């Protein structure tokens, strides 16, 4: 159905710059992000009359509650959306509304030289007759995740206005710093008080994410031996060359640019060095937990073998896990995934459960004790100037949340 306040709300939110900053040492990472949470989201929630609206200093989250309107106890459901936007120009976002899209034309981004071309972005062809919202060429839109933020607020507004829809207690959280990967680790699971939750931060209607990569990161610090090149024979150990030799021993086709679907990879993200010393940063990704462990073992054994040949620990390895595939944990809570599936079906959506080649805030939260799959929010082409969203997708996301609230209440008679 149509929610008349959703579009104006979304337009208001995307025009507030709330970009996070991975180089920041404060938490949340930027003041503008915190301002958006406290001065815009929190105010709107208070005006709508939600309960327990507050800012949690520890987690950097705005929290709110939609009180139950039934007396029986049902599990407390939560919804989360992140208030920061990605690492792309977010100054002066000017959202453009393209009504009744014809399904085949290019859409000009403002009066810029940039166009959304359905030949380049074939998803556009799915949206004939619908309302496309873009930025104006030199900024991102910020639908990631202001789609989710405005959908959560609209969902709350709708439930408060429609007491005939019976539901249990529902908790909402507007989280910081998702785009820099540090928001979830501060999340206050006990204070949030939900039994399970959903991030609302996904792509097109029907997309349901409950499988993600398992992830680790490692770095190598290589100590070389720098002697004059003229007399280097048998003496010099060029740290840069040692790094190259290490890299060359990894499976060369298991890199992001050669893999897709359910294939994992090793990704060399950074390589700096001189003859004297070199530093390499990698991430490792795999959908299977034992696949991740095998990749970690390969790295360890390569480093050990090279150090053995040097006769000293010339290569220092630091390795740590980042997050795990939430599917392994959610397998124990399939009723949660099934609740979303049921709601999608009831709303006539075709479910797409392809695993995410990345992580979500939910990957961490699931392992912190809050099982948390990800729902679609209507985001398309995230993180750049070609980002867009579709108003009808956003309506659908709210429909799904309303349906989930109903189903959750009904399933616990
Ligand atoms: Zn996002």
Look-up: residue for tokens 């993600």? Answer: 212
**In the 3-class helix/strand/coil scheme, how is 42-105 assigned residue by residue?**
HHHHHHHCCEEEEEECCCCEEEEEECCCCCCCCCCEEEEEECCECCCCCCCCCCEEECCCCCCC
pLDDT of 12-25, one tens digit each? 999 999 999 999 99
Distance 144 CA to ligand 1 centre (A): 5
Active site (annotated) includes residue 387: no
Which listed residue (65, 177, 178, 209) is catalytic?
178
pLDDT of 263-311, one tens digit each? 999 999 999 999 999 999 999 999 999 999 999 999 999 999 999 999 9
Which of 7, 8, 146 shows the shortest CA–CA distance to 85? 146
Mean pLDDT of 67-93: 95
Active site (annotated) includes residue 178: yes
Which of 116, 158, 114 shows the shortest CA–CA distance to 133? 116
Instruction: Report the alpha-carbon angle 142-79-359, nearest 5.
Output: 65
Read off the tokens for 286.
């795999």
Helix, strand, coil % (nearest 5) of the chain? 35, 25, 40
Look-up: residue for tokens 């990698």? Answer: 282
Average pLDDT, the chain: 96
Residue 313 has pLDDT above 70, yes or no: yes
Q: Which residues does residue 321 pair with via DSSP β-bridges, in sequence order? A: 216
pTM: 0.90
Percent share of the chain, pLDDT over 70: 100
Residue 114 has pLDDT above 70, yes or no: yes
The rounded distance, in Å, linking the Cα atoms of 70 and 28 is 36
At 243 the three-state DSSP class reads helix
Distance 232 CA to ligand 1 centre (A): 51
**Quick one: pLDDT at residue 367?**
93
Distance 202 CA to ligand 1 centre (A): 7
**Quick one: pLDDT at residue 412?**
72
**In the 3-class helix/strand/coil scheme, how is 357-410 assigned residue by residue?**
CCCCHHHHHHHCCCCCCEEECCEECCCCCCCEEEHHHHHHHHHHHHHHHHHHHH
Distance 307 CA to ligand 1 centre (A): 41
- Domains (ranges, CATH) in the chain? 6-211+325-410 (3.40.630.10), 214-323 (3.30.70.360)
Distance 377 CA to ligand 1 centre (A): 9
**Quick one: pLDDT at residue 413?**
61
The rounded distance, in Å, linking the Cα atoms of 203 and 393 is 9
Residue 101 has pLDDT above 70, yes or no: yes
Instruction: Give the alpha-carbon dihedral of 240, 241, 242, 248, to 10 degrees.
Output: 110
Number of H helices, E strands in the chain: 11, 17
Which listed residue (21, 34, 44, 84) is catalytic?
84
Distance 382 CA to ligand 1 centre (A): 8
Mean pLDDT of 310-337: 95
Length of the chain in terms of residues written: 413
Distance 326 CA to ligand 1 centre (A): 17
**Quick one: pLDDT at residue 289?**
94
Residue 81 has pLDDT above 90, yes or no: yes
């Amino acid at each position: 159905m149509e929610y008349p306040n959703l579009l104006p709300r979304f337009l208001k939110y995307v025009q507030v710059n709330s970009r996070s900053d991975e180089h920041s040492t404060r938490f949340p990472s930027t003041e503008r992000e915190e301002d958006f949470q406290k001065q815009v989201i929190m105010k709107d929630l208070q005006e709508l009359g939600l309960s327990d609206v507050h800012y949690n200093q520890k987690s950097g989250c705005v929290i709110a509650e939609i009180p139950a309107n039934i007396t029986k106890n049902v599990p407390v459901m939560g919804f989360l959306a992140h208030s920061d936007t990605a690492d792309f120009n977010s100054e002066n976002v000017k959202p453009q509304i393209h009504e009744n899209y014809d399904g085949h034309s290019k859409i000009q981004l403002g009066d810029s030289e940039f166009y959304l071309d359905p030949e380049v972005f074939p998803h556009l062809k799915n949206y004939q007759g619908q309302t496309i919202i873009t930025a104006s060429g030199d900024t991102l839109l910020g639908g990631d995740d202001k789609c989710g933020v405005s959908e959560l607020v609209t969902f709350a507004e709708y439930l408060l206005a429609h007491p005939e829809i019976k539901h249990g207690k529902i908790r909402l959280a507007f989280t910081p710093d998702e785009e820099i990967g540090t928001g979830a680790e501060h999340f206050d699971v006990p204070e949030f008080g939900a039994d399970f939750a959903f991030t609302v931060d996904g792509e097109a209607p029907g997309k349901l994410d409950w499988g993600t990569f398992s992830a680790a990161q490692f770095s190598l610090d290589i100590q070389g031996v720098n002697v004059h090149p003229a007399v280097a024979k048998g003496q010099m150990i060029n740290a840069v060359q040692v790094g190259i030799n290490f890299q060359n021993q990894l499976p060369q086709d298991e890199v992001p640019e050669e893999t897709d679907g359910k294939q994992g990879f090793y990704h060399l993200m950074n390589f700096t060095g001189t003859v004297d010393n070199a530093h390499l940063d990698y991430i490792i990704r795999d959908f299977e937990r034992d696949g991740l462990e095998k990749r970690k073992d390969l790295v360890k054994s390569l480093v050990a073998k090279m150090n053995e040949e040097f006769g000293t620990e010339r290569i220092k390895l630091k390795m740590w896990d980042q997050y795990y595939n939430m599917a392994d944990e959610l397998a124990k809570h399939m009723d949660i995934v099934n609740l979303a599936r049921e709601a999608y079906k009831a709303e006539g959506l075709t479910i797409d459960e392809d695993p995410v080649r990345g992580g979500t805030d939910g990957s961490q939260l699931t392992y912190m004790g809050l099982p948390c799959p990800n729902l679609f929010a209507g985001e398309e082409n995230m993180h750049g100037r070609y980002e867009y969203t579709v108003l009808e997708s956003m309506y659908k996301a709210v429909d799904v949340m309303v349906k989930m609230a109903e189903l959750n209440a009904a399933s616990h008679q």
